[in-house]
Structures are given as structure tokens and as C-alpha cells.
Amino acid sequence: NAGVTQTPKFQVLKTGQSMTLQCAQDMNHEYMSWYRQDPGMGLRLIHYSVGAGITDQGEVPNGYNVSRSTTEDFPLRLLSAAPSQTSVYFCASSWGQGLVEKLFFGSGTQLSVL
């Protein structure tokens, strides 16, 4: 099993460009989520999904869109990148939602917006 796979690992964008961060899991997990990690601020939840066709906002959703057309994939879209979105992005999945379920994380995408 590959677990949670994120692509790309690194990305540089210019302000105003759009892009999609890919996340795929092969564990048949219902719950998937996106986090951003900034220095000294831990990980903040951007969006999450409790199953195919269902998404919801986390703590810092502005500037990001998500969709969940399949159980396996949960892409994160930046429609118009801003320097404030420079961060490391992590995707995670688990059997169910909530803290009791163990979260499995991908290796992250380091994004720089110039």
C-alpha cells in the first residue's frame, strides 16, 4: 500500500496563478482533509470531506476549493494564488472523522507564491 500520496512535492507560483494540489489514498478511507503548516503555527485545517460528494470548510478555507468525486482522491485548488498562501500543505485520511480515528498523512507539498 502506498498510503497517502501527494503531488507535487514542490511548486513555485506567481501571484494570480492557479493550480491544483493532488492527494490520493489507497486505504479506502472515508475521511480526508487538507492542512497548511506555517512556521510556529502548527497545522491548520483548510477543508475536509467525510465521503465522496461531501466537503466542508475547516479553520482557514478562504482562497481554496476542494471536491471529492471519488473515495480515493481529494484535490485542493488554489484559484488565484497569493503570497499569503506560501506554506507547506499536508493531506490526511482516516477511517472516520474525529480525533479518535488515526490520521495518516502524506509527505507534503511545499508551495511558494512569488
- Binding stretches for other proteins (CB under 8 A): 4, 33, 35, 40-45, 48, 56, 58-59, 90, 92, 96-108
For residues 17 and 95, which CB has a smaller minimum distance to other proteins in the complex?
95
Residue 31: its H or E element: strand 31-37
For residues 1 and 14, which CB has a smaller minimum distance to other proteins in the complex?
1
Residue at grid coordinates 512556521? 39
* Cα torsion through 28, 47, 38, 63, rounded to 10: 140
Instruction: Find the shortest distance in angstroms from Cβ 88 to other proteins.
Output: 8
For residues 58 and 75, which CB has a smaller minimum distance to other proteins in the complex?
58
At 68, the amino acid letter reads: R
